[in-house]
Structure formats: C-alpha cells, structure tokens
Amino acid sequence: MLRAPFRSLSTTARKSLKIGLIPADGIGREVIPAAKSAIEALGSDIPKPEFIDLLAGWETFTKTGNALPHETVDVLRNECDCALFGSVSSPSKKVVGYSSPIVALRKELDLYANIRPVLSVASEAGQKAAVDLVVVRENTECLYVKQEEQIFTENGREARATRLITERASRRIGQMAFEIALSRPRKHLTIIHKSNVLSITDGLFRETVRKVPTLPGVDGKYDSVTIMEQLVDSAVYRLFREPEVFDVMVAPNLYGDILSDAAAALVGSLGLVPSINAGDNFVMGEPVHGSAPDIVGKGISNPLASIRSAALMLRHLGYIKGADRLDTAVDQVIREGTTLTPDLQGTSSTTEVLDAVLKKI
C-alpha cells in the first residue's frame, strides 16, 4: 500500500473534515457506510469528520432524469474537503440522456489521476508482500471521452469512437506517477503503451511521460527513478506470470482500467482493491469493485476496499496516522482469515467484517 504521502493536499487549520458520501448504486450503498464507520472510529487522529450525503448514479437517473445532479457537484466543489464514491450500475446499452456519473465527476472536479494500489497481505506482519504495485491511470481522456457515432453504409452499420490523448494530460499523469515512484522503496516506473501500433496517440503518451524528468524546474528530482516501458498486451502477460517486476505502472485511461482490474485477481478479489481519484485540489476515494447487482441486499458485500479507499483518501490529505490505522486494521483482519466475506472464501457478513475491522482500529 502507499504507506507514505505522495502528494498531500493542505491540512492547514482544519477543525473539521467535510466528506461527501456518494454511495450511488448497488453495493455502494452497503460499503460506503462501512467506510464512514471506520473513519469515525479514528477519533482525534483526524479532524472531526462531517459527512454530507449526496446523490448520483443510475437509480438517481431513473428517478430524476439526471445521473449527476448539479447540487452534488456544487456541494463537492464548494463545501467538501474530499469524498467517497461507491459504485455505478450503468446500463450496457445506450440510454438517451444517461452518462456515467463517475466519469463526469472526474472531469467536473479535474480528478485527472486514478491511483490504484494492489497489495497482497503477507501471512505474517513485517514480511514482504508477494504483490505490491500501483497502477496510475490517466482519468480524463482516451476512449473515455465518449465521443462515439454510428453510421449506416452499404455494407451495414459502422461504429466509431474518438480516442483523445493530449500532451497536457499525459504530462500531468506522468508527473503524478513519478512522484509516487519517488515515494516508494524501489523507485521504479513502467510506462504502459501500444505505440508499436498506435504510434500517434500512444506515441504521444509515451514520449510525454518520458520527458517529465527533463521539464523546467525538475532539476534532477527524478534521477533515482528507473524508467522502463512495456507494451500493454505483454504487460498483462507479465502481470500474471511475474507481478514482482512491476512497482508503479502509468497508463492511458483504458489500459489502466483493464490492468488494475486484472491485477486485483492477484490478491484474491476486487473487494480488496482501493483507489482514489485525485487532482491538484480534491481527492475522492472509490473502491475498484463495481455495483455487483447479483449480491445486492444479501449482506455479503466486502467492505474492505471501501475502507482502504478511505485510508488512501486520508493519506493523500496528509493524515498519515489515521490512514495507517485503517490499513493496519484491514491487514490484520485479512491475515487472521476468520472473518471474511464469500468473495474471499469466507462466510461472514458485511457487518461482521466491519465489526472486526473496528475492533482492530
């Protein structure tokens, strides 16, 4: 896990910490309350938390015609210090008027980096983890700009999508990735691309990230960071065969999304993998798992990824002691192995796992 702050936002003179809560859809409504309880258990290690409940998601769209109400964005932007987002049940087919609220939030708040640590828990405290890597995913462009069209030709329908890669976005995510690599013991950064085929778009991403150490004002700051490259298809192969070769991986949006979900398989479950959506002025925690409609309401959703996402959020804000307490509690529960949800071959409920974490905190 990211045990050191990699880019702390200001914590100056905060008497309270205002946290927006956006459970959204599916099991998001089960795991975000668990993360809230874990944060409340930290006591004086963080400013007094104040939670603001906010709406977004498919269910909100079906009721109001808007998946991301303007009020939600306004409150996050003007009243909150940070936020936690649950999950979205987006339809697989086009629905007129609907677009993903999490994608929209990333753009509205300029949360240009999606940071996803993937860490296995060693059988004994202090032992080296078998998997310990971070996927740094550009969060605002690539195919996720959602500029698609369908046309009719004499040969049938054609569907086309615009893929956007800009120098500005690639530079920003590259700088974030270098900062994270610099904060980790190995100081190793792998640039993920497919520029042997997509020579213009991926070529620009690769070239721009490689140039980060030569930017004006950097002055040798990243000299200790080893830079490698990997084509995305071979990166997936190596991820499963030898995950230990990776430390920090930086990738365009789509590749980063796929790689981080695939990496979750290495540690047992998507229900363990946290993330934050981070910008220069705001941070929003988000468990990597989806809305899991097949287990909604059964009381067996895994709350650990949401609690770890809360820890990442607090760490990014500079509240290291509180973040460490959350991470350590989760590690202990996983290591003991007696109170786990079914996705980890356990028989415990969401509430039972949360209670076990709270006792460790």
Instruction: Count Cβ atoms within 10 A of the Cβ of residue 163 and give its class: 0-12 exposed, 13-18 middle, 19 or more buried.
Output: middle
**pTM (2 d.p.):** 0.91
Domains in the chain with CATH codes: 1-111+279-361 (3.40.718.10), 112-274 (3.40.718.10)
Whether 31 and 341 have beta carbons less than 8 Å apart is answered as no
Find the distance separating the first CA and the last CA of the chain, reported in whole Å: 17
CB within 8 Å of 313: residues ≥ 6 apart = 82, 83, 84, 276, 283, 284, 285
Active-site residue among 25, 36, 144, 327?
144
Whether 100 and 220 have beta carbons less than 8 Å apart is answered as no
Is residue 255 part of the annotated active site? The answer reads no
Cβ neighbours around 44 below 10 Å, total: 8
Is residue 298 part of the annotated active site? The answer reads no
Active-site residue among 261, 324, 355, 360?
261
Is residue 63 part of the annotated active site? The answer reads no
Active-site residue among 53, 233, 237, 280?
233
Active-site residue among 257, 327, 331, 343?
257
Give me the helix-helix angle, 350-360 and 320-336, nearest 10°: 120
pLDDT string in tens for the chain (361-residue length): 454 445 556 555 678 999 999 999 999 999 999 999 999 999 999 999 999 999 999 999 999 999 999 999 999 999 999 999 999 998 878 888 998 999 999 999 999 999 999 999 877 776 778 899 999 999 999 998 888 899 999 999 999 999 999 999 999 999 999 999 999 999 999 999 999 999 999 999 999 999 999 999 999 999 999 999 999 999 999 999 999 999 999 999 999 999 998 998 899 888 899 999 999 999 999 999 989 999 999 999 999 999 999 999 999 999 999 999 999 999 999 999 999 999 999 999 999 999 999 999 9
Is residue 280 part of the annotated active site? The answer reads no
Is residue 247 part of the annotated active site? The answer reads no
Active-site residue among 194, 202, 319, 331?
194
CB within 8 Å of 309: residues ≥ 6 apart = 35, 84, 274, 275, 276, 285, 286, 287
